[in-house]
Structure 1
Amino acid sequence: MAKTQDFTAMMKDMMGAFPMDTKAMEDAFKSSAALNEKLAAVAIGAAEQSAEISTKWTKDTLSKMGAMSKVQAEPADYAKAATDFASASAEVAAENMAAFAEVAKKAQTDTVELLMAAGKDMSEEATAAVKKATEEVTTAAKKAATK
């Protein structure tokens, strides 16, 4: 009767011939975590600035509404107060929308810069890892050929 081969031993020998560098995986994880931290800081900073703009806008609007809601001497004065409120609100809206646009532009610029730097770093790390792996495989192949 034919004896079956021990595939466990064969796999163990094969995996031992091609060692794996877990440090590269750890470094990749650390790089990814650092990038995520920086991206989160950009997002949180943009959210904080947006909240400040929104709060200021609300306070300005409420203070102008107070002036509009005062008792007027003539009926035409109510129309003038409403018109003044509307024009002031339109002006403030334009200013605040521009401020929101600046926050978004800065967040976008910072994100692109982070991603480009991360891409460059990953490219350099990948090149180094491939070079090291190639050297290890070549060494392992030479050892296997001499056996």
Structure 2
Amino acid sequence: MAQIYLAAPFFSDEQIDRVKRVEAALDANPTVTDYYSPRLHQETEHEQFTSKWAAEVFKRDTQNVTNADILLSIIDYRDNDADSGTAFEQGMAWVQQKPIIVLNELQFPVNLMLSESLTAYFTDAKHLVTYDFHTTPTHAFTGELF
């Protein structure tokens, strides 16, 4: 059984829609038994966006990256750069030698630190329905780098 951590920004309606479509793809994939989506775990006993809330969410999310077997990273861009939280989580997964699956539906140019750390690269969430998360086959990055 592989635990997947879904690293993704969810700050706009478009990003939330993308994350929800990826969650649905994971739900439909027969090789996926469990995943953790931080979008669904923002509640704490503390008021949102306070330092105590941030500390609790940070601890929970980083622990879930550490506990995961695979990281699925939705790279989405804000101000022409990858979401810093998602990039941080992808870096954690790479240091822990976990397979990293990247989705870049908007097909923005990708920072080489993200492209060089990935195991498989996709530009359409529909590919996540059939991807084998048990064996995590390589799917090379194709696209523009920066």
| Same fold (TM > 0.5) | no
Of structures 1 and 2, the one scoring higher in RCO (CA 8 A, sep 6+) is 1
Task: Please tell me the TM-score bracket, short chain as reference.
Answer: under 0.3
Higher radius of gyration, 1 or 2: 1
Greater share of strand residues, 1 or 2? 2
Using the size of structure 1 for normalisation, the TM-score is 0.24
Greater share of helix residues, 1 or 2? 1
